[in-house]
């Protein structure tokens, strides 16, 4: 019988990889807390209408990437493809956003997202995002603070030299509509020079054409109308202010006038942190301002800014660059060998060690076996110290310490002196 396999693009994370994910979760959420963010958790499944209404009907996600199906009651439900829509829905449902009280919310989340994409390196059908969303602050300083937060994180992870910040200003939806009309006129006149995907988008989502990777399309776009010429004075000033703040904080960036984003709800500032170390899946963190979304989903007009960060892409990056600290990769510190009829003492000795040193990772050999066999297992376990407990040692309340990774000689000591070796 053919064995059942996992679904395509839905990866198992095996013990060799989970420490990398744990390290990222610890580090990323630690930085979120440093900036005063609180965690929010929302369900994996939502009503399909939530994503259609927020992300936009003609976006890639809604058009072809969502896992949508009917439940047993014939309701259309969708596995969340991103976090922002659910976050806004949850905040509204539980009245976390009161405009009159001018209440600010700074929230973070982490968890799996689902998109039916073509699986490849750094692109999965179930992937994990860290995200933050800030409600109630319309000024550029919160945008700068969020970018400082991400820059601090890259420095902590050691990847700051491998990432570049790109920013752009999309303006208001009115400005974008006016620009879109002019862009379409220009592109229609040069339609035959566009790649097939861009030709398709001309009728549905023309702004996304700016982001085309096709060489001919890119060349054509050099002569196309520029979004920056359509921005209001307010948007232009806001964007200038953000750049001044980034300059003051010494955060390097490039203005990429072609940076649009795949989701409809953004306005004014958008950004991406990109790396060239992961091939075409180069964006590790992306976000922007979305001041109309709360209102669009039924709430009061509320300023909002946020980002999503791909955990798999970060994991690939820190792993390939060998940046995961050994502490996280080593699953064991001490391996206790039980030689002869000493199983009880070995278990108790391990317990004693765990009590004295709660952070020590201790494993006892359970199940017998020869010295050679147990030694092999100790070696493979990654532990730096093996404790040998034979019948003689047990009788004398002693234990033999063998250093597995250092050139130190083995010694036999009293069990009560064990503390000293750590
Ligand atoms: P891309 O252009 O790479 O498809 P996106 O614009 O669709 O990304 P967002 O919706 O902005 O991505 O999600 C934020 C981040 O989540 C991305 O920058 C990326 O790091 C990560 N991400 C998005 N889709 C996937 C995926 N299918 N697999 C792994 N990570 C993903
Ligand atoms: Mg995508």
CA-nearest residue, atom 25 of ligand 1: 123
* pLDDT tens, residue order, the chain (422 aa): 899 999 999 999 999 999 999 999 999 999 999 999 999 999 999 999 999 999 988 888 998 999 999 999 999 999 999 999 999 999 999 999 975 556 899 999 999 999 999 999 999 999 999 999 999 999 999 999 999 999 999 999 999 999 999 999 999 989 999 999 999 999 999 999 999 989 988 988 899 899 888 999 999 999 999 999 999 999 999 999 999 999 999 999 999 999 988 777 899 999 999 999 998 889 999 999 999 999 999 999 999 999 999 999 999 999 999 999 998 998 899 999 999 999 999 999 999 999 989 999 999 988 888 999 999 999 999 899 999 999 999 999 999 999 999 999 999 999 999 888 88
The CA-based dihedral angle spanning residues 113, 118, 119, 123, taken in that order and rounded to the nearest 10 degrees: -50
**Does 115 sit in the ligand 1 pocket, CB within 6 Å?**
yes
CB 288 within 8 A of CB 198: no
Task: Count CB neighbours of 370 within 10 A.
Answer: 9
Q: Decide whether any atom of ligand 1 lies within 6 Å of the 123 Cβ.
A: yes
Closest C-alpha to ligand 1, atom 5: 262
Q: pTM to 2 decimals?
A: 0.92
Q: Locate the ligand 1 atom nearest the alpha carbon of residue 287 and give its number.
A: 11
Q: CB neighbours of 241 closer than 8 A, spacing ≥ 6? A: 139, 140
Ligand sitting nearest the alpha carbon of 116: 1
> Residue 287 forms beta bridges with which residues?
271, 307
């Amino acid at each position: 019988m053919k064995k059942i396999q996992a679904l395509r693009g839905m990866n198992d994370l095996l013990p060799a990889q989970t420490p990398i994910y744990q390290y990222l979760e610890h580090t990323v959420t630690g930085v979120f807390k440093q900036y005063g963010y609180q965690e929010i958790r929302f369900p994996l499944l939502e009503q399909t209408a939530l994503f259609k209404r927020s992300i936009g009907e003609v976006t890639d996600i809604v058009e072809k990437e969502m896992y949508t199906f009917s439940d047993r009651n014939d309701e259309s439900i969708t596995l969340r493809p991103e976090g922002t829509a659910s976050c806004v829905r949850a905040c509204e449902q539980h009245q976390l956003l009161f405009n009159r009280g001018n209440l600010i919310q700074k929230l973070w989340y982490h968890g799996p997202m689902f998109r039916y994409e073509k699986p490849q390196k750094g692109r999965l059908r179930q992937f994990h995002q860290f995200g933050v969303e800030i409600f109630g602050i319309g000024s550029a300083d919160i945008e700068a603070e969020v970018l400082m937060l991400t820059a601090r994180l890259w420095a902590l992870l050691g990847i700051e030299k491998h990432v570049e910040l790109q920013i752009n200003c999309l303006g208001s939806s009115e400005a974008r509509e006016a620009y879109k009309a002019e862009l379409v006129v220009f592109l229609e006149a040069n339609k035959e020079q566009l790649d097939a995907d861009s030709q398709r988008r001309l009728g549905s989502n023309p702004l996304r054409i700016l982001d085309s990777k096709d060489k001919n399309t890119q060349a054509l776009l050099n002569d196309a109308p520029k979004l920056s010429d359509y921005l209001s004075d307010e948007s232009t000033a806001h964007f200038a202010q953000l750049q001044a703040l980034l300059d003051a904080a010494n955060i390097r960036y490039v203005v990429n006038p072609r940076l649009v984003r795949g989701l409809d709800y953004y306005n004014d500032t958008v950004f991406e942190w990109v790396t060239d170390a992961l091939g075409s899946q180069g964006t590790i963190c992306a976000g922007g301002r979305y001041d109309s979304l709360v209102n669009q989903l039924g709430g009061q007009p509320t300023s909002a800014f946020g980002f999503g960060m791909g955990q798999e892409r970060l994991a690939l990056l820190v792993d390939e660059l060998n940046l995961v600290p050994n502490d996280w990769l080593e699953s064991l510190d001490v391996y206790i060998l039980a030689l002869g009829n000493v199983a009880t003492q070995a278990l108790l000795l391990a317990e004693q060690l765990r009590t004295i040193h709660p952070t020590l990772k201790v494993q006892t050999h359970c199940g017998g076996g020869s010295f050679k066999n147990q030694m092999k297992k100790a070696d493979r376990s990654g532990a730096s110290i093996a404790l040998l407990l034979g019948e003689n040692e047990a009788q004398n309340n002693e234990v033999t310490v063998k250093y597995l990774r250092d050139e130190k000689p083995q010694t036999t000591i009293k069990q009560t002196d064990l503390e000293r070796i750590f």
